[in-house]
Copies of this chain bind each other. A is one copy, B any other.
Amino acid sequence: MPANKPELPAATISDLGHADSIITISPQAVVANWRYLASLSSPTTETAAVVKADGYGLGASQLAPHLADAGCRTFFVMSLDEAITLRGALRDSGHDSCAVLILGGCHPGQEDEMLAHDITPVINTREQLERLGKMARQRGAKIAAALHVDTGMSRLGLDEKEAAWLAIQVAEGNALVDGLSPRWLMSHLSAAEDDCDPANEAQLQAFTALRAAFPDIASSLANSGGTLRGPAFHFDMTRPGIALYGLHPAGIGASRQQAEQAGHLMPAIRWDARILQIRDAKAGEAVGYNGTHVLKRDSRVAIIGVGYADGYMRALGNRAAVVIAGHEAPVIGRVSMDSITVDATDIPAARLQTADTATVLGDGYHLARMADDAGTIGYEILTQLGHRPRRLYLPT
């Protein structure tokens, strides 16, 4: 990553208030990342934003209006709950014309509320297609929809056979689909971050073939990985998610070219926590639950106010590090529910004495590294951030 990439400012102890940790979020970084991703595709390709799971944990209602200000017109969430909340935030910020799509589809009984809030379903099954088509005909109105076809995830979406059947209905102007106004044909990549996975080419071919059967509908295949993979994957709309939040989907395993791309993504988050206590401990003493770390030397141990209940994953015990006064300090012992213990022995005493917070994520210890240390992906770290840490949105 470029050395001059701007870091988010450290939170001060007074920012913490009554909480023991604080997550600082930069809407400006998210907007910059959206602009970078948009710059990768041609001007005729729309760049949507995936803000499901509460904007990957960073706040859909707080971030989407900024993206809409920047020109984003189409937002994806998972459930009707998320869609209604987002619709409210867009309306309140004067962006009611933006489209909100629910990836999970419209489930029986949700139709009225979905339409009342001007939410567009992503149709994943023939049942959804028929139910919504019938409803539209009964009302004499057109229901806008996206058609989602599975091309290799075996997850949500119509299968190949259903898609072929649907193409015929659309071509023949069958009454079944008469009430629906299909705006997008979509599919989802299963391994877009992996340069070596042949699934990318296979899915691209399958989607290209499919698309030919729906010549009048805009098409969309690319998640963040697809957007970063190049023009062949862009079609009419890209749908980046994780990269908006500053993480390259390849994480710490990025190739050289991916690392170059990652250099253009701005970190959108940092996480600082209160130093609850600093203690001296003797060689041979055990640290934390079940004594999984035994001190090899007389040590200074700092106890930091984040634990797994805050979303600081338990898998980070004895693996991660924090940064105190510019010095890295390794996490020793298990992660507790509300705190972690770090070895602060090598931090100059004068620096340690005046420190009141530790950076547990960000500046010096980045998301890709945390995910690797936890044996997972940054997506899980972000979406699992707890509600106990205070959240601070930087002004734009």
Contact = CB atoms under 8 A, between A and B. Distances in A.
Interface of A: 13-14, 17-20, 52-54, 56-57, 78-82, 84, 103-105, 107, 109-110, 113, 124-125, 150, 152-156, 159, 190-191, 194, 197, 199, 274, 276-277, 279-281, 285-291, 295, 301, 303, 305, 307-309, 311, 313-315, 333, 336-339, 341, 375-377, 379-380, 383-384, 386-388, 390
A191 B280 CA distance: 22
Given A52-B309, A159-B280, A286 B341 contact: no
26 contacts: A17-B81, A18-B80, A18-B110, A18-B113, A19-B79, A19-B81, A20-B79, A52-B338, A56-B309, A56-B337, A79-B338, A104-B305, A105-B276, A150-B279, A152-B285, A153-B286, A154-B286, A155-B287, A155-B288, A156-B303, A190-B288, A190-B289, A190-B291, A194-B290, A309-B383, A311-B384
A237 B152 CA distance: 58
Given A52-B337, A156-B339, A159-B280, 9 more contacts: A52-B309, A52-B338, A125-B277, A152-B285, A152-B291, A154-B301, A155-B341, A311-B384, A314-B377
Nearest to A158: B279
A277 B156 contact: yes
A13 B388 CA distance: 30
A199 B302 CA distance: 22
Contact of A287 (B14, B84, B154): B154
A148 to B, nearest CB: 10
Chain B CB count within 10 A is highest, among A57, A277, A375, for: A277
Nearest to A241: B337
A71 B66 CA distance: 50
Nearest to A387: B387
Of all A-B residue pairs in the complex, the 4 with the closest CB atoms, nearest first, are A53-B309, A309-B383, A18-B80, A18-B81
A18 B341 CA distance: 41
A206 B305 CA distance: 26
Contacts of A155: 287-288, 303, 336, 339, 341
Most buried by B among A53, A79, A124, A285: A79
